[in-house]
Structure 1
Amino acid sequence: MTVKDTNQIDYFQRLLEESVRMHGHLCPGQVLGVKMSMLGLSEVGIADPKGQDRKSIMVFVEMARCLTDAIQSVTGCSLGRRTMKLMDYGKMAATYMNLKTGKAIRIVAKEESRQKADELFPDIKHKYSAQLEAYKILPDRELFDVMEVIVKLNPEDMPGRSMRRIRCDDCGEYVQDLREIYKEGRVLCRACSDSRYYEYPERDIF
């Protein structure tokens, strides 16, 4: 093992420990998310995501699971900073984008890696424990499919101050970041335009 390999292992272990502190426990998703992020950042040319490159990185995550916490921990991207976008596809995948160069790499966790975990650690009966250990040692090429993609960003999707704040004609609540809907000459929030995820309780009318 070379000095470079040793340094890389130490770096991975440090990032994994930071991720576990944030997430609350160690799980296969944490290992995958850390390794996926190390690879993604390298592929798009981001060396210091929490420092000098913090304004150059955006990540699109495709699942709201443990993997996403690990990605946030490593990259420093978050929903609040508008540098992380949740595309809720239910897939163990993420796209890493360099905002300065426009280069974007989508990485998908291979389903076959689960089988490799059983082969590597047949004596570990608990499948998640086997996966956790296997993901630590499997090379990236056996864990992930990597593809270059094109991501088109609208100005309102970029980090920074809100471009506009406007009042919904129905509920009276304010909408930011050009998320309003225009319907029949009225300005509506998305909830009032028929895509509400919540309902109000029925009220007696006197």
Structure 2
Amino acid sequence: MNTVGFDFENLLDESVKIHGHLCPGQVLGVKMSMLGLREIGIDEPKGKDRKNLIVFVEMDRCATDAVQSVTGCSLGHRTMKFMDYGKMAATFVNLKTGKAIRVIAKEEARDKAKEHFPQIEDKYKAQLEAYKVMPDDELFDIMNVKVAIRPEDMPGRPLKRVKCDVCGEFVQDMRDVLKDGKTLCKPCAFGGYYIIEDKPHGE
């Protein structure tokens, strides 16, 4: 189950430039992406296949930057979806064929890393070097999955744009909520991550 068809070293170098430093998460993210892309039949994620790929990432850690670097997917292009699960996992979807593979980093890979480089005392450095050479079946589990992507979650222009009846801000991509006969944004309907201390500047 080794990754083929991609240049690991070049992809890792490119990812490190974007992320800012080399770390075990970068290595995992690059290899995870290579494996996922190969399994769903995507050869040129930044070229001819760029419109056929969507990736769901389940972590907001270093590996996510690596996934973005390798795949070319991003939140801004609506080709990367962030699922806040706190898991070192990502699902790669081929929109053309419908094939989807979820790749999960194995927890036991952390301990096996030391077996590959017992001479390295620093556990972090041992993981970094070991992840580079460990085969995919030691690093990852993979599962075939089905992903139903809603039309409003696809790349392209918003399908809908409405004004919140409470705050007056506009909501697009059908993220509005109908509650008590009113059209609301999610923060007004359920509470948001922020607390308003003053009015927007300019009012």
Give the TM-score normalised by the residue count of structure 1. 0.92
Q: Partners of 2:56 and 2:39 in 1: how far apart?
A: 15
- Residue number in structure 2 paired with 1:154: 150
Q: Which of 183, 197, 200 pairs up with 1:187?
A: 183
1:70-89 equivalences in 2 (<5 Å): 70-89=66-85
Q: Which of 111, 126, 144 pairs up with 2:107?
A: 111
2:89 equivalent to 1:93 = yes
Amino acid at match of 1:117: A
Q: Partners of 1:190 and 1:79 in 2: how far apart?
A: 19
- Residue number in structure 2 paired with 1:30: 26
Runs of 4+ in 1 over 3 A off after TM superposition: none
Instruction: Report the identity percentage.
Output: 65
2:63 equivalent to 1:67 = yes
Secondary structure of residue in 1 paired with 2:48: coil
Q: Partners of 1:120 and 1:58 in 2: how far apart?
A: 34
Q: CA deviation at 1:124?
A: 1.5
Q: CA deviation at 1:201?
A: 2.7
Give the TM-score normalised by the residue count of structure 2. 0.94
Q: Which runs of 5+ in 1 are unaligned?
A: none
How many residues are matched? 197
Q: CA deviation at 1:195?
A: 3.1
